[in-house]
Each structure stands twice: as C-alpha cells, then as structure tokens.
Amino acid sequence: MLDSRTQPCRLILASSSPYRRSLLERLRIPFDVCVPDVDETPHPGETPADTALRLAQAKARAVAAREAAEPVLVIGSDQVATFDGLQIGKPGTHEKALQQLRAMRNRIVEFHSALCLFDSACGLAQTEDVVTRVRFRDLPDAELDAYLRAETPYDVAGSAKSEGLGIALLDEIESNDPTALVGLPLIALTRMLRAAGYPLLGGAR
C-alpha cells in the first residue's frame, strides 16, 4: 500500500479499448495506456465469471511485467456476456452481430465486467466481478439491422453500446454500478484505488 506522504505510483490502464479509456478519464487522474498481449480464448469448462476474472488479472500482470523498472498500479478489465450458459464474444462482423441480437431478443443477458488492480510494488491483485443483467427488447430484424449499420458495435460483447444508440435495444438494466456495462466498473475501481492508498480525489485535475 502507498504511503499518503509519498508520490503515488504511476497508474496504467491495460487496455486497447477507447470506451475504458473514456471512462477512466472521468476520474480526472493521470494515467498511461498500455495494450496487453493476452490470448482471450476461454478455457474449456471455464465459467463466464472465471474467464473474465482470469483475463482481467492476466492483462494487468502482463503490463506490470513489461513495466518492471518501476512500481506501478495497473488496471486490467475484461467483459464476458452470457445467456443460456453460453459465452457471447465480440461479433467482429455485421453478420455475426445480427445473429447475436436475434438470439437475444426478449432475453435476459448477463454481462460479467471483471476488474483487477495490480500493485507491482507488493504483488497484490485486487479483483472483482461486477454483474449486470440486461433484458433485450423483441425488435424486428429491420430495426436490428438499422441499429448495427448506424453504430457498428462490432468490437463489444453483445453487439450493443448502452452508452449510445444501443440503449434503444434494451428494456431493462439491473446493476449496482452503471459504468460496469460500458466496460470499466468505476465504483469498484475507486474502492480498489482507495484500498491501495492512491490519493484519488487529491490527484484529480
């Protein structure tokens, strides 16, 4: 843990996601971005929660190892969507995104937004899985297709950006952290930063 009288560790976001970067900027604290090189393939028999937590920690540790010359605090995060016991990944293409949205019509989908804050100075990893339950509307193919062409959400699990036009696809969102669905649970993160002794409000700009 950091001593409040000392300079805080350098904070790094281990992610290539512009959505996570935008969320972290809300805290008005200085941070760097480093893209981790981690295979995101789920392990056989792994639960969605286990996959998300394992990858969040792997991303944070991979970046910390790369920055071994100095103590750092690294934020790793991963999101896995699931329904009917099946994991739903990033669609990548219009066709796969449309298939996802068709399958999720009038269904409840769980989004596991896992978070890890790794302190390389002491080797401590704080982790948490924040679950958001979302009910999708029963919309016709034409509306789903129009949404995908308007927002092209092919790089997000579940093919819908709740922070944008994708909110029109949803009937209900149940979560204790409104930022979790976007990809970086800020309530959990600020709790972890405080536990690590990071001067969160004192470092705001």
Return the active site residues: 78
Say which DSSP state 43 is in: P
Question: How many CB atoms neighbour CB 26 within 10 A?
Answer: 10
Whether 156 and 133 have beta carbons less than 8 Å apart is answered as: no
DSSP H or E run through 113:
strand 108-119
Q: Which residue type is seen at 94?
A: H
- Among 133, 134, 116, smallest CA distance to 125 is for 116
- Among 168, 165, 160, 169, smallest CA distance to 90 is for 160
* Residues found in the chain: 205
CA quadruple 147, 103, 175, 92: dihedral positive or negative? negative
SS3 17: coil
Say which DSSP state 72 is in: E
